[in-house]
Structure 1
Amino acid sequence: MKNKTFHGLKLVVAIFLILHVICPIIALAAHISIGDISEVISSAQFGPMLWNSFISSLVTTIVSVCLALLLAWCVNRTRIRHKGVWSVIFTLPMLIPSISHGMGLTLLFGDNGFFTNLTGINIHLYGLTGIVIGATLYSCPMAFLMLTDIFQYEDFTVYEIADVLGLSKKQQLQAITLSNLKKPLISAFFAVFTVVFTDYGVPLIVGGKMMTLPVYMYREVIGLLDYSKGGIIGVILLIPAVIAFIIDLMNKGTGTSSTITKPYVIRKNKKRDIFARIVCAVTLVLISLPIVTFIILSFVKQYPIDFSFTLDNITESMDLGIGGYLLNSLFMGLTTALAGTLVTYYAAYVTARSGKKFSSMAIHLISLVSLSFPGIVLGLSYVLFFQGSFVYGTIVILITVNITHFFASPYLLAYNSLSKFNGNLEDVAYSLGISKMRMLMDVYMPCTRGTVLEMFSYIFVNCMVTISAISFLANFRNMPLALLIPQFDSQSMIEPIAFISILILLINVAAKGVIYFLKLYFVRKEN
């Protein structure tokens, strides 16, 4: 009887995952017309669209991962100052929607952009160039976060042994550093490729005549309401995500654990540190340019005619109802973060602390499977499955689709934290008559407060910037702030777009700051 609540909640989690992960994907496959498959694949535009998506994703992934590796090296293997600040700066592009990066590039390097007008140099932004630059801006921070922690877990003893054996720095780089980074690099490569391959925000703004599959899918569904053809493209977009998921599972399965006997010692090297400072400074400028442009644009009278200072843009933006859409975003973000944190944490508790039972392993697998579904595919799946239900058209469906969309990452955070506890704790609790729910509330949650806060932060920030998963589901009554960007772009209303982008950035920075100080508070309280 003591564990009745535990098993009841476990059943609720299982039903949630089946209803919101498995069923929508089945609905997506069921709505595909066999006749439309041959029509889409044999069409003259399919081949070029597939190639455009592949080549832009491949080039972006190579550039993004290489830059992220360089930045991670600068932060972890040099003596530059304020490393924590640099790490925060490098992740700032994640705090605004991807479509905003495309708009920022247009304002800077478009045919009538600041840089183009100032220098007379036209970089021919629209097409592959713009997609690669814009996609790199928002995907590089993700790769940076995946790679930077790996440097912190290298054992310096191995490098000392290499010095004794007479291995040069180049040989040590190849034999030790790159060997340690091989698996994280593979994971980062496929993660970035999948995100770029399925994004329509940047290509929609700066793609020009270079049509990609996600943009085609977006226009078919939003513009023509052709769910069958949209579903076909959705299944195609799933392919790299599924491949990435399988490779990542194989990659984790072959990992080896090691014990750090000596932290990495960074020796003095003036040339290296100067090079690192230059790299960080250049990256700072590149990251800041779109944000600074948005700030300027929010306070000028009329771009590009009149650059005099004014607050009219903010007033006009508020008159357009931005305040109401902001409230929608905040409500959606906070509710999703709260509910999502509870569901993902409990799912992780069930799978990490219940042994290798079939039900627990099934929940674990479905939780990981959700990682392989791109937002745009998941959004269309929800339309097909929930259309006509009582939640369709309400903010509830936006909350649930976001929980599903962002389920895997916070789940893995909690799963990894809970797996570190002694495996015998449950046996001891059972012998003392302590229920599993009591263990969860009194032992595990207090000991993993930092993880819980990170889970909440991750879900909230992503809810504020996401567009892909909710673009097919939102309406004028529940539309969040980020979805106004593509609408205003189609009407060439660039000043409100700039203000919205800055507003989202400020909210996410504030949220990150609150989480940071809460974590500090709990650490001091425990000490």
Structure 2
Amino acid sequence: MKSKSKAMSGVKLLLIVFFAVAVLFPLIRMFFSMAGTDIGAILTSDNFNTALLNSLSVTLTSTVISVGLATALAWCIARTGVRLKGVWSFLFVLPMLIPSISHGMGLIVLFGANGVLTNLLGLGGSIYGFWGVVVGSVMYSFPVAFLMVADIFRYEDSTPYEAANVLGISKVRQFTAITLPYLRRPMISVIFAVFTLIITDYGVPLMVGGQFTTLPVMMYQDVIGLLDFGKGSVIGLVLLVPAFIAFVLDLINQDKGNSGFVVRPFTIAKNRLRDGVAYLLCAVVSVCVVLPIVSFALLTFVKKYPIDMSVTMNNIARAMDMNAGQFLINSILIAIGVSVVGVVVAYATSYLTARTHSPQSRVLHLMSVITLAIPGLVLGLSYVLFFKGTMIYGTLAILILVNLMHFFASPYLMMYNTFGKLNGNLEAVGQTLGISRMRIILNVLVPQSKSTIAEMFSYFFVNSMMTISAVSFLSVQATQPVSLMITMFEAQMMLECAAFVSILILTINVLLKGGIALYKRKISKEVVA
């Protein structure tokens, strides 16, 4: 018994050391790199303060719009009688399957000076600047908010509303007395998640910001363009502050929240006006989601938009000649590596933190979720400074490691929450019957958590395929992922090739998500049988 306890403690200690080396030490190294840098001059400069104000204004505006839109769409799916809810939901999350920089490029293709809709509708004005970044940020972030809010609505109990109807309480009073208190705590998490996602993104503002510079773009330009790691570290520290505050407040909010379960699902009554409005909103948002993808397809197969609209395959050939095929293989290898290693590490870590209780478990849990507060750009820069000169620098291994840490927290929390819902006495019963802990994990817990494992794999894979943040500082020619070709093609004014790469990433991710959906359906049928 003691030997098993020591073994568990040893594994926990090993994982704590792993997270320290993979997260904490690189961040500490980044902080030390600011030595000798005139931090005061950077923080008081006009360029920095302008970029800071731009970031905050864009993020606050985009967060309000994104969360509001996501809430409305989630309500349409959960509380109305619209049909084909699975199709609508799939369309709403499509923007999650392509890099954020592709959303900015899509806006240029549609609303730029020679954009498709600009020429078709005779539109004036410019897509570059504040509102262009806001629109792109909303497109990029609202699918995340939609999934989170839809999950909140899915687990709301209808019993209080039925009691209120019996008592003759008005719908307005039900909303203020029942719905708002229920939504308040989980919506805080949604708001913080979206805020952090937007304020740390550089893909959209890099494409459509123009002279409207944000902090992530400033950091990217200083590190990639000027190799000024000291200034980049200062900006990275500033970007870390709002994300870390959001993380701490969200953690406090979750700790105080009460877990619940569905007593009775909602019965949706017929209401033509309500359903008509829901259909209209779903249709409008779906068109807005599909338009950029259609524009990518259009650009991929024309010679030179808008000069020569003749159909050609030259753009695909040019992209392949510039090693798009090899870079795609790199991306797939990275995504598979992150997914396989990530699922194993996240599963083991969540088991140790959710099913065993000790001070080590609490430390391990904190170190597992703290990566939520670290922007990808900051993590990438810290890796450059910490791992440069080591045997993994410049290899696929460091790209797998940085993506694993960048995306670790969400899959970990998926499995952590799943373990919390499973019978907590399984290990004790197994010990009484002489069944080892490992046999219980493999024969009982893993089969019961197959669906969550599939979602974890999907999350790691999709995000590793499309990320451009952390890997932008760490990749070399031999290890470059295909997503970074979008930035390269855009800089060379080869939007047609960039559009092809976006379609390529989207296709891979859609196929993966489709395969995961079929696998989960098979699992559900086996459970029913």
For this structure pair, what is the TM-score category when the shorter chain's length is used for normalisation? over 0.9
Between 12-21 and 163-172, report the one with greater CA deviation.
Answer: 163-172
> 1:293 Cα shift?
0.0
2:201 and 2:481 mapped to 1: Cα distance? 18
| 1:466 matched residue in structure 2 | 467
Paired AA for residue 224 in structure 1: L
| 1:86 matched residue in structure 2 | 88
Give the secondary structure class of the aligned counterpart of 2:38: helix
Pairing 1:196–2:198 present? yes
| 1:24 matched residue in structure 2 | 26
Matches within 5 A, 1:289-304: 289-304=291-306
1:3 and 1:368 mapped to 2: Cα distance? 24
1:429-480 C-alpha deviation (Å, 9 max, x unpaired): 2233333222222221121111111100000000001010111000110000
| 2:483 matched residue in structure 1 | 482
| 1:237 matched residue in structure 2 | 239
CA contact 1:27–1:385 (8 Å) conserved in 2 = yes
Give the secondary structure class of the aligned counterpart of 2:360: helix
Paired AA for residue 133 in structure 1: V
1:257 and 1:214 mapped to 2: Cα distance? 36
Figure out how many residues of one structure are paired with residues of the other and give that number: 526
1:259 and 1:353 mapped to 2: Cα distance? 20
TM-score (norm 2): 0.97
> 1:22 Cα shift?
1.0
Give the secondary structure class of the aligned counterpart of 1:263: coil
1:240 and 1:120 mapped to 2: Cα distance? 41
Between 320-329 and 244-253, report the one with greater CA deviation.
Answer: 244-253
Aligned counterpart in structure 2 of residue 181 of structure 1, from 183, 186, 189: 183
Aligned counterpart in structure 2 of residue 311 of structure 1, from 310, 313, 316: 313
Matches within 5 A, 1:339-418: 339-355=341-357, 357-418=358-419
Pairing 1:335–2:350 present? no
> 1:7 Cα shift?
4.8
| 1:57 matched residue in structure 2 | 59
> 1:3 Cα shift?
6.4
CA contact 1:152–1:264 (8 Å) conserved in 2 = no
1:125-152 C-alpha deviation (Å, 9 max, x unpaired): 1000110000000100000011011112
Between 505-514 and 9-18, report the one with greater CA deviation.
Answer: 9-18
Paired AA for residue 345 in structure 1: Y
CA contact 1:139–1:196 (8 Å) conserved in 2 = yes
| 1:47 matched residue in structure 2 | 49
> 1:4 Cα shift?
6.7
1:205-234 C-alpha deviation (Å, 9 max, x unpaired): 000100110000001000111111101100
CA contact 1:488–1:494 (8 Å) conserved in 2 = yes
Give the secondary structure class of the aligned counterpart of 1:332: helix
1:173 and 1:457 mapped to 2: Cα distance? 36
CA contact 2:37–2:230 (8 Å) conserved in 1 = no
> 1:8 Cα shift?
4.7
Give the secondary structure class of the aligned counterpart of 1:91: helix
| 2:113 matched residue in structure 1 | 111
- Structure 2 alignment gaps of length 5 or more: none
2:166 and 2:430 mapped to 1: Cα distance? 50
> 1:278 Cα shift?
0.5
Between 20-29 and 169-178, report the one with greater CA deviation.
Answer: 169-178
Superposition CA RMSD, Å: 1.4
> 1:179 Cα shift?
1.9
2:322 and 2:209 mapped to 1: Cα distance? 28
| 1:448 matched residue in structure 2 | 449
1:189-213 C-alpha deviation (Å, 9 max, x unpaired): 1111111101100000000100110
2:181 and 2:449 mapped to 1: Cα distance? 32
| 2:424 matched residue in structure 1 | 423
CA contact 1:413–1:451 (8 Å) conserved in 2 = yes
> 1:299 Cα shift?
0.9
Give the secondary structure class of the aligned counterpart of 2:109: helix
Give the secondary structure class of the aligned counterpart of 2:474: coil
1:422 and 1:200 mapped to 2: Cα distance? 43
Give the secondary structure class of the aligned counterpart of 2:379: helix
| 1:270 matched residue in structure 2 | 272
CA contact 1:53–1:197 (8 Å) conserved in 2 = yes
1:319-361 C-alpha deviation (Å, 9 max, x unpaired): 2211000000000001110001100110001111112x11111
1:383 and 1:106 mapped to 2: Cα distance? 32
CA contact 1:5–1:437 (8 Å) conserved in 2 = no
| 2:79 matched residue in structure 1 | 77
> 1:425 Cα shift?
1.9
Distance 1:2 1:434, change over 3 A: farther
1:491-524 C-alpha deviation (Å, 9 max, x unpaired): 1111110000001001000000111111222333
Between 479-488 and 14-23, report the one with greater CA deviation.
Answer: 14-23
Give the secondary structure class of the aligned counterpart of 1:468: coil
Between 429-438 and 308-317, report the one with greater CA deviation.
Answer: 429-438
1:397 and 1:261 mapped to 2: Cα distance? 47
CA contact 1:6–1:437 (8 Å) conserved in 2 = no
> 1:290 Cα shift?
0.5
CA contact 2:70–2:146 (8 Å) conserved in 1 = yes
Paired AA for residue 483 in structure 1: L
Give the secondary structure class of the aligned counterpart of 1:475: coil
CA contact 1:367–1:408 (8 Å) conserved in 2 = yes
CA contact 2:13–2:360 (8 Å) conserved in 1 = no
2:259 and 2:341 mapped to 1: Cα distance? 34
Paired AA for residue 397 in structure 2: V
| 2:168 matched residue in structure 1 | 166
CA contact 2:27–2:382 (8 Å) conserved in 1 = yes
CA contact 2:300–2:499 (8 Å) conserved in 1 = yes
| 1:220 matched residue in structure 2 | 222
1:6 and 1:158 mapped to 2: Cα distance? 44
CA contact 1:109–1:123 (8 Å) conserved in 2 = no
Give the secondary structure class of the aligned counterpart of 1:126: coil
CA contact 1:3–1:436 (8 Å) conserved in 2 = no
